[in-house]
Amino acid sequence: MATLELTLDEDATAQPAKRGRRLGLLFWMAVGWMIFMFAVAILAPVLPLPSPTDMDMLERRAPISAEHWLGTDGLGRDELSRLIYGARISLVVGICASVIGLIIGGALGMLAGYFRGRFETMVVGSMDVLLAFPPLILALAVTAFLGQSIFYLTCILGVLSVPAFMRVARAATLTLARREFVIAAQALGATHARILLRELLPNVMLPLLAFFLLGIAVLIVVEGALSFLGLGVPPPISSWGSMIGEGRESLEIAPRLAFFPAIAMFLTVLSFNLIGDALRALTDPRQGAL
């Protein structure tokens, strides 16, 4: 018996260490990159940077120098300043749109997975209709009708992300709705609201938060694609997608104008994916040792 208890204690002690090793170097590099990106994006107004909208036609496509660390673009604007301020737009749009999808989709998914019946059929059917609607056509329609705006772009991407969050929340709720602690709460006379908020929500939030990070990565790419096509943020506001779109005109003369924002977007999206995958693996009970 003493040997068995010692073995169990060793396993319990080794479990956090195994999880720490499972994260790996790439995970911590991704965390470091995200901390750096959020820091420069938040502190952009106080950093010693020139205005990202000031143009100098005499300094068009100027090379990298002490005055312009990443050179200037086709209108003489500082490329480093535009890259940092573009990070603010891309991150804000990606995070805010994911928050919209998380709140609306998560709530609908939990309600559909808990109550089932006609409500579930209605919610799943409406999400299937939204998924079948081409997102580019929706973005074109809203942009043509309301005009280009960061607010409208964020709302469009948030609405488009609702079905994915709904499916994750519904799948998690279906798994948990017949667990012992939920049945016990129902037997004790707990209300539906109490069961949803006190019993199911803390458990459903774990996979939702992991998917939230993956959703940010996807929406940053979508925002970049829309801005690349001219459907994103209005000029002179810069985002990584619009910078790549403007840089394609100078690929033969100054390829760095498209290369730098593309690398920044790639590293940021990759970091969100690595962190999201790691958290999903840690919160997935199928990944844990029995």
Choose among 41, 57, 24: nearest CA to 93. Answer: 41
Q: How far apart are CA 45 and CA 88, in angstroms?
A: 11
Beta bridge partners of 78: 72
DSSP secondary structure code for residue 53 in this structure: T
Domains and CATH numbers, the chain: 83-283 (1.10.3720.10)
Q: Are 174 and 113 in contact (CB under 8 A)?
A: yes
Beta bridge partners of 72: 78
Which pLDDT band holds residue 226 (cuts at 50, 70, 90)?
confident
Global confidence as pTM? 0.82
Which residue reads 């803390």 in tokens? 202
Given a cut of 70, whether residue 64 has pLDDT beyond it is: yes
Choose among 152, 19, 138: nearest CA to 97. Answer: 152
Choose among 58, 14, 48, 77: nearest CA to 247. Answer: 77
Q: CB-based burial of residue 209 (10 Å sphere; 0-12 exposed, 13-18 middle, 19+ buried)?
A: middle
Structure tokens at 219: 């929406």
Q: What is the pLDDT of residues 245-282, one digit of tens each?
A: 888 877 778 788 888 888 999 999 999 988 888 887 77
Name 51's Cβ contacts closer than 8 Å, sequence gap at least 6.
78, 81
Q: What is the pLDDT of residues 156-197, one digit of tens each?
A: 889 889 999 999 999 888 888 788 888 888 788 878 788 888
Q: What is the pLDDT of residues 32-53, one digit of tens each?
A: 999 999 999 899 888 888 878 7
Structure tokens at 112: 């559909």
State the average pLDDT over residues 194-220: 86
DSSP 79-97: HHHHHHHHHHHHHHHHHHH
Angle in degrees, CA 92, 95, 98, rounded to 5: 140
Which pLDDT band holds residue 17 (cuts at 50, 70, 90)?
very low
